[in-house]
A and B are shown apart, each in its own frame.
Chain A
Amino acid sequence: MTFLLGFYVLIWPAITLVVLVVICRAVMRDRRKAKEEQRELV
């Protein structure tokens, strides 16, 4: 029970971390692509 409840609370910040990494990497890629195509990011 202790492990399960601990996991239940902490899994959400862990998923948030994964999404944060995915988004940051994607933004870097967006930025590079925009530069290559000589257009603005937004």
Chain B
Amino acid sequence: MNSESLYQFSIPTVLLLLFAFYGGTYLMTLGIRKKNEDADAFMVSNHRVGFGMGAASMTATWIWAASFYAAATSGYTYGVSGPIHYGLWGALMILFIYPFGRRFRKLAPNAHTLGELIHARHGSSSQLILALSNVLGSVISLMVNFTAAGALVSVLSPLSFQAGVIIAGFGVLLYTLWSGFRASVMTDFAQLVALMAIAIVIIPAVFFAMGGPSELVAGLGNLTAEQTNLFSMDAILYQGAPFFVAVLAYAIGNQTISQRLFAVNESHIKPTFITATIGYGAIVIGLGMIGLMALTLGVEPMGGDMNNLIPQMVSTYLSPLFIALFFILVIGSLSSTADSDLSALSAILMADVYGKNLARGKADPKRMLLVGRLTMIIATAVGIVFASFSLDILVMLVFVGALWGAIVFPVIASCFWNRVTNQAFTTSVLVAMVLFCLARFELLPMSGGSDLFFEVLASIGGGVIIGLMVFGFLGRIAGFIAAALALVAMLVFATDFLRDYTVLLASLTAYGASTLVCVVMSLMSRQPDFDFATIGEQVGDYETQRPEPVTPGGQTAAANLATQR
């Protein structure tokens, strides 16, 4: 069954929908706007965002346009288990970061970025590596979201792709520019309510319009044995496993998450992140089910483009009102993520680049705000220009996730282990990136021992991922035991096997290599152990900068840190 074309809105209708969405969002931000915004609030609000606003903002930020398209693609490709292998792991990215987030917050209660914490711990080189990875992630995210806006507008109306990209870019910039993160959080709530309400209606609507459960059961005959299997190995190895590998990497490498960890009321971090985990999983897996429905009905994606699956199903089975709701659903999801990316980028440039490196502790809050707003304008322009490249979303997700994989262990270890050095952090990330590229782009032939070398590194990476996840929730001993068991299991099962799964091998190699180098270099270092108490003393608000505290030894915190380095 194929639809010849998608429903088309007229140009005035689609413009009305876009202007109503962005106009309404902009009006909402007028209620919180201040003539003289506070630089700290521009980055993390008041560090006391409540559970409801925090959970709404975290959920809305983590759901981007790619979530729906990729979940539906996964359902269409891998069948029954497909949506779960996209949505569940995406949701766990939020869950697994909160134990570490509580530690970050304890070390630096008034931080704005994770980079500030790393700057206080190690200095500029490690901080800038983290900041660079954050910037890269946010720029790619912006580009993907603007691309999604252009694609949506062009398939559902006569407007061009570029028109959709430009309207979305300017719309998001318009309401985020003045109040920054505060505007992002405020609008996230409204966007999430709309997004959830529409998802709640659209999923059952498509399901019953296509014939309901009996039609779905009848259509199972169209599926392969793997696609009907809830525990499909194909789905696990090609979709689930690369995502599982990226669970911690996405969370650590994403400033939009760190920003919320530092913004939410400290006592509400756990409920906020657990609620966001459940909310994200339910929405994304639910919309992924539309891909499964399309598969059982034998629908072919229009033009072979999987991103057309959901619009195609909605267009085929539902009335124009639902198509308009779907349109708002996608625009809302991409805008909430894009505004968070703009806020994240501005915070990185304000705090990590200007505050910690250019101003060197003497930051002018007014100038910081200017830096933040200019960053937003430039980032929007870059996102709009880059959007025209239209890259494959799923491949990009895996690639950036692996890139972030290289920094996971050094960042987490730096916050718990006082022996990690700046040199160990920096070198481990660089070595891991080189090895990742060698494996990912197959620059070395996977034979003659190099295959085994990468499999052993990847096995260490697997052990590290499991170990860190268990460590976050159950502590050090359980983490070490889990890591050792996972390492042994990986060495047994992955050897002579993982070489055929390049993406997975390369991603795990990034974790394994960075951990190995970081641990060995830290153990070999003769530097004195780091005093974690100095971090909180060095990272604070910019609007109320205090005189530099003096430690019991009579030195300032910065001098003390310099001695330790």
Chain A residues within 8 Å of B, Cβ to Cβ: 1-3, 5-6, 8-10, 12-13, 15-17, 19-20, 22-30, 33-34, 39-42
Flag if A10 contacts B207 (CB, 8 Å): yes
Contact between chains at A15 and B278 (CB < 8 Å): yes
Encoded as 1 (CB less than 8 Å from any A CB) or 0, chain B from 59 to 83 comes to 1000000000000000000001000
Task: State whether A27 touches B56 (Cβ < 8 A).
Answer: yes
Complex-state Cα separation, A39 to B196, whole angstroms: 28
Q: Write out the residue numbers on chain B whose beta carbons fall within 8 Å of the beta carbon of A29.
A: 50-52
Q: Closest residue of chain B to A39, judged by CB?
A: B46
For the complex with contacts A2-B217, A15-B286, A30-B52, 10 further pairs of A-B residues with Cβ separation under 8 Å are A6-B216, A10-B204, A13-B200, A13-B282, A17-B196, A23-B275, A29-B51, A41-B50, A42-B182, A42-B185
Interface string of B252-275 (1 = CB under 8 A from A): 000000000000000000000001
11 contacts between A and B (CB under 8 A): A13-B200, A16-B286, A22-B55, A23-B59, A30-B51, A34-B50, A40-B46, A41-B53, A42-B45, A42-B46, A42-B185
Q: Is B185 a contact of A23 with CB atoms below 8 Å?
A: no
Query: Are the CB atoms of B213 and A16 closer together than 8 Å?
Result: no
Chain B residues close to A by CB (< 8 Å): 32, 45-46, 48-53, 55-56, 59, 80, 182, 185-186, 189, 192-193, 196-197, 199-201, 203-204, 207, 212-214, 216-217, 275, 278-279, 281-283, 285-286, 289, 292-293
Contact A16 B275 (CB under 8 A): no
Q: How far is the CA of A40 from the CA of B179 in the complex (A)?
A: 13
Determine how close the nearest CB of chain B comes to the CB of A33; give it in whole angstroms: 7
Q: Which has the most chain B C-beta neighbours within 10 Å: A10, A16, A19, A41?
A: A16
| Closest residue on chain B to residue A12 by CB atoms | B286
With A and B bound together, what is the CA distance between A27 and B192 in angstroms? 12
* CB-CB nearest in chain B for A34: B50
Kindly state the separation between the CA atoms of A2 and B216 in the bound complex, as whole angstroms. 8
Q: What are the residues of chain A within 8 A of B203 when measuring CB–CB?
A: 9-10, 12-13
Q: In the bound complex, do residue A13 and residue B199 qualify as a contact, i.e. CB atoms below 8 Å apart? A: yes
Which B residue's beta carbon lies closest to that of A41?
B53
- Report Cα–Cα, A39/B282, bound state, in Å: 33
Question: Given A13-B286, A24-B52, A27-B52, A6–B213 Cβ distance below 8 Å?
Answer: yes
Tell me the complex Cα distance, A19–B193, Å.
10
In the complex the two chains form, is B186's CB within 8 Å of A41's CB? yes
Q: Are B196 and A20 in contact (CB under 8 A)?
A: yes
Please, how many angstroms separate the alpha-carbon atoms of A1 and B203 in the complex? Answer: 19
B46 proximity list for chain A (CB < 8 A): 39-40, 42
Q: A26 contacts which chain B residues (CB < 8 A)?
A: 50-53, 55
Shortest CB-to-CB span from A13 to chain B, Å, is 5
A8 CB contacts on chain B under 8 angstroms: 80, 289
Structural contact, A2 and B200, CB atoms closer than 8 A: no
In the assembled complex, the Cα of A13 lies from the Cα of B32 at a distance in Å of 32
Q: CB-CB < 8 A to B283: which residues of A?
A: 12, 16
Q: With A10-B207, A19-B279 in contact, is A33–B200 under 8 Å at CB?
A: no
Contact A30 B50 (CB under 8 A): yes
> Which residues of the other chain, B, contact A17 by a CB distance below 8 angstroms?
196, 200
**Contact for A12 among B193, B212, B289, CB less than 8 A:** B289
Instruction: Report whether B196 and A19 are in contact in the complex, using a CB–CB cutoff of 8 Å.
Output: yes
CB pair A19–B52 under 8 Å, yes or no, is no
Residues from chain B with Cβ under 8 Å of A9 in the complex: 203, 207, 213, 216, 286, 289, 292-293
Residue of A nearest to B287 (CB): A12
Of chain A, the residue at the smallest CB distance from B206 is A9
In the complex formed, the residue of A with least CB distance to B201 is: A13
Q: Decide if A30 touches B53 in the complex (CB within 8 Å).
A: yes
Residues in A neighbouring B293, C-beta threshold 8 A: 9
> Which residue of B197, B207, B217, B281 is within 8 Å of A20 (Cβ)?
B197
- Nearest A residue (CB) for B200: A13
Contact B285 A12 (CB under 8 A): yes
The 4 closest A-B pairs by CB, nearest first: A26-B52, A12-B286, A30-B50, A6-B213
Contacts of A13 in B (CB 8 A): 199-201, 203-204, 282, 286
Measured between beta carbons, the chain A residues less than 8 angstroms from B285 are: 12
Contact A19/B282 with A33-B50, A39-B46, A42-B45 known, Cβ cut-off 8 Å: yes
Separation in Å of the B407 CB from the closest CB of chain A? 29
Query: Nearest CB to that of A15 among chain B residues?
Result: B282
* Contact of B50 with A27 in the complex, beta carbons under 8 Å: yes
Contacts of B286 in A (CB 8 A): 9, 12-13, 15-16
A18 to B215, CA, bound (A): 27
| A24, chain B: closest CB distance, angstroms | 7
CB distance from A16 to the nearest CB of B (A): 4
**CA–CA, A15 and B282, complex, Å:** 6
Complex interface: chain A residues within 8 A of B217 (CB): 1-2, 5
Which of B53, B192, B214 has a CB less than 8 Å from the CB of A42?
A: B53
Indicate if the CB atoms of A42 and B186 lie closer than 8 Å: yes
Find the residue from A3, A13, A26, A30 having the highest chain B CB count within 10 A.
A13
Expressed in whole angstroms, the Cα–Cα distance for A24 and B50 within the complex equals 12
B55 touches A23 (CB 8 A): yes
Q: In the complex, A26 Cα to B55 Cα: how many Å? A: 9
Question: Which residue on B lies nearest to A27, using beta carbons?
Answer: B52
B213 touches A12 (CB 8 A): no
